[in-house]
């Protein structure tokens, strides 16, 4: 596979976002969103996915975090879609279970070209460090619609909302690492009987 990198800029009246990714990185992470807990979660994706991420996001946080979180999901999805390329030789599927103390989450994905989000997380409280947990759904929905994958997220247990969220994002990173890895036996071939994804 050739270098799998991309930089995407998305500018609207609500947000200005730049995302750079290297899918074959070492987990190098730089992120400024104005949302510290979201930054913490995105660092989990970089570290556990071994994806280099450089994110700069400015949004209308004086109104609400919604636009920034959703548009960041969109922009990250676009960057990963560009970096993946034609998907020849791609493992395509990824899954991970990640525990953190009492919390356990499972994330399963398919870079199928068919966007779909099935997010089953019942957080034990509505805010974590000032971050509205409803916005995680907006982030992942924006992501799947633009990375063009099917994503299943299940929190299987957890009492601490911080732990619940962290297991989700760590598992998301690990599943990305698996799905985006090169399959040597599939080299040069499309991982689909359709011949395209």
Predicted structure pTM score: 0.95
Sheet of 93-100: strand order equals 93-100, 103-110, 150-157, 116-120
Name the one residue in this structure whose structure tokens are 């500018």: 11
Residue 196's pLDDT is: 78
pLDDT truncated to tens, each residue of the chain (197 aa)? 578 999 999 999 999 999 999 999 999 999 999 999 999 999 999 999 999 999 999 999 999 999 999 999 999 999 999 999 999 999 999 999 999 999 999 999 999 999 999 999 999 999 998 999 999 999 999 999 999 999 999 999 999 999 999 999 999 999 999 999 988 888 888 788 787 78
Dihedral (CA of 33, 140, 182, 85) sign: negative
Report residue 134 as tokens: 């409803």
Nearest CA to 94 out of 105, 106, 85 is that of: 106
Q: Which residues contact 13 (CB under 8 A, 6 or more apart)?
A: none
């Amino acid at each position: 596979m050739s270098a799998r990198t991309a930089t995407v800029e998305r500018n609207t009246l609500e947000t200005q976002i730049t995302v750079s990714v290297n899918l074959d990185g070492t987990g190098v992470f730089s992120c400024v969103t104005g949302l510290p807990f979201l930054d913490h979660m995105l660092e989990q994706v970089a570290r556990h996915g071994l994806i280099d991420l450089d994110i700069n996001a400015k949004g209308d946080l004086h109104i609400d975090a919604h636009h920034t979180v959703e548009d960041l999901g969109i922009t990250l999805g676009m960057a990963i879609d560009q970096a993946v390329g034609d998907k020849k030789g791609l493992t395509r599927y990824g899954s991970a279970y990640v525990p953190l103390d009492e919390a356990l989450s499972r994330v399963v994905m398919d870079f199928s070209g068919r966007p779909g989000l099935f997010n089953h997380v019942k957080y034990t409280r509505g805010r974590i460090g000032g971050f509205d947990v409803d916005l995680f759904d907006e982030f992942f929905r924006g992501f799947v619609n633009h990375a063009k994958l099917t994503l299943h997220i299940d929190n299987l247990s957890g009492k601490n909302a911080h732990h619940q969220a962290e297991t989700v994002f760590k598992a998301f990173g690990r599943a990305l690492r698996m799905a985006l890895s090169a399959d040597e036996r599939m080299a040069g071939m499309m991982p689909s009987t359709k011949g395209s994804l």
